Chain A
Amino acid sequence: MSIDIKPEHKPEGIEGAGFFATSLEKVVGLARANSLWPLPFATSCCGIEFMATMASHYDLARFGSERLSFSPRQADLLMVMGTISKKMGPILRQVYEQMAEPKWVLSMGACASSGGIFDTYSVLQGIDRIIPVDVYIPGCPPRPEQVLDGILKIQELSKSESLRRRDTPEYKAQLALYGIE
């Protein structure tokens, strides 16, 4: 039986016998994308689907993200899963602020993205009201396949991101919209 293993797509560069030269940015992007450490901010139902994604059937480890970082300081990706109430909002924001750059945010499920069916007095109507979000996953709750797709989208983003993006005035202006310095 032959197993068809596809190596990671090589970035553009100059290749010769025994060497391969490319820009640092691309190498860093490649490394970042394939070892994202997610911080699971799981509050409700979506957290259970995330558990299914982590477990053996769907196996998030195939995408290099099985190392959950429960400390925000070492995490690259904030995965917000489930309803965020107004009482929880400040905590979410604090966790986001504690994460080191570069950081990405994945909003999983209808509740985190928009408040979902809970348009009520106690629920925050979408986490993008307090922190910037990179990828939204629709669904209530999304299937594990969708979660994997969302993580792949984050990988694409991180792969092609310029090393200087986080220092640009545009990025800072974007954060300032949320009142984050």
Chain B
Amino acid sequence: MSDLLTTVADKLKEKFGPAFISAEMDYDFPVFTLEKSVLYETLSFLKSEPELNFNFLTTIAGIHYPDMKEKEFCITYHLHNLFLNHRIRLKFYMPESDMKVPSITHIWPTANWMERQEYDFFGFNFTGHPDLRRILNMDEMNYFPLRKQYPLEDGSRDDKNDKQFGR
């Protein structure tokens, strides 16, 4: 698996140079971190480059790190090369002030709903997305519920007070 790490890292370094930040193994997954500015190019390169050929988008997940300055949000992509059974993870960090992410629906149509879901949860602004609306929550919702500052609980319950839990 570590050869996969070096192969992909070399390719990405060669192609993107300074925009390539780091490559590491996290358990059984090679993880690559790049600048957000090359997000679209990286993903289309990984798909179209015949030697890499990551043809399957497994999933997209957003993460919120409120304590990391200028890197509050992270978006991760899991790619899969079905022919050789190689899997990699890509990470792109961004500050809260600039949450514009290029949409990859043109590379993989399946990214459509995945991106809508991450928009719904975190508020990533996918530019170029054909139909960026909330998908799971109600349209009237005015916040992004998976950000860490918002509570899990529904505020309308009055039978759950701290007294019952000894707090």
Q: Are chains A and B touching in the complex at the 8 Å CB cutoff?
A: yes
Residues of B within 8 A of A120 (CB): 152-154
B134 to chain A, nearest CB (A): 10
Q: Which residues B131-158 have CB closer than 8 A to chain A? A: 136-138, 145, 150-154, 156-157
Q: Which residues A109-137 have CB closer than 8 A to chain B? A: 115, 119-123, 125, 129
In whole angstroms, what is the CA distance A108 to B152 when docked? Answer: 24
Question: Does A86 touch B at the CB level, under 8 Å?
Answer: yes
Question: Does B167 touch A at the CB level, under 8 Å?
Answer: no
Q: How big is chain A's contact interface, by range?
A: 10 to 19
Question: In chain B, what residue has the closest Cβ to A119?
Answer: B153
Question: In chain A, what residue has the closest Cβ to B157?
Answer: A125
Instruction: Say yes or no: A121 contacts B138, CB within 8 Å.
Output: no
In whole angstroms, what is the CA distance A125 to B152 when docked? Answer: 13
Main secondary structure on chain B at its contact with chain A? Answer: loop
Instruction: Say yes or no: B154 contacts A123, CB within 8 Å.
Output: yes
Residues of B within 8 A of A123 (CB): 154
Residues of A within 8 A of B153 (CB): 119-121
Most chain A CB inside 10 Å of its own CB: which residue of B136, B145, B154, B160: B154
Question: Does A62 touch B at the CB level, under 8 Å?
Answer: no
Question: Does A87 touch B at the CB level, under 8 Å?
Answer: yes
Q: How big is chain B's contact interface, by range?
A: 10 to 19
In whole angstroms, what is the CA distance A132 to B56 when docked? Answer: 49
In whole angstroms, what is the CA distance A123 to B155 when docked? Answer: 11
Residues of B within 8 A of A87 (CB): 137-138
In whole angstroms, what is the CA distance A86 to B141 when docked? Answer: 11
Residues of A within 8 A of B150 (CB): 121
Residues of A within 8 A of B151 (CB): 121
Residues of A within 8 A of B145 (CB): 121-122
Residues of A within 8 A of B152 (CB): 119-121
Question: In chain A, what residue has the closest Cβ to B152?
Answer: A120
7 new A-B pairs (CB below 8 Å) besides A120-B152, A123-B154? A119-B153, A120-B153, A120-B154, A122-B136, A122-B137, A122-B145, A129-B156
B residues lining the A interface (CB < 8 Å): 136-138, 145, 150-154, 156-157, 160
Could you list 16 A-B pairs, sorted by A, with CB under 8 Å? A87-B138, A119-B152, A119-B153, A119-B154, A119-B157, A119-B160, A120-B152, A120-B153, A121-B145, A121-B152, A121-B153, A122-B136, A122-B145, A123-B154, A125-B156, A129-B156
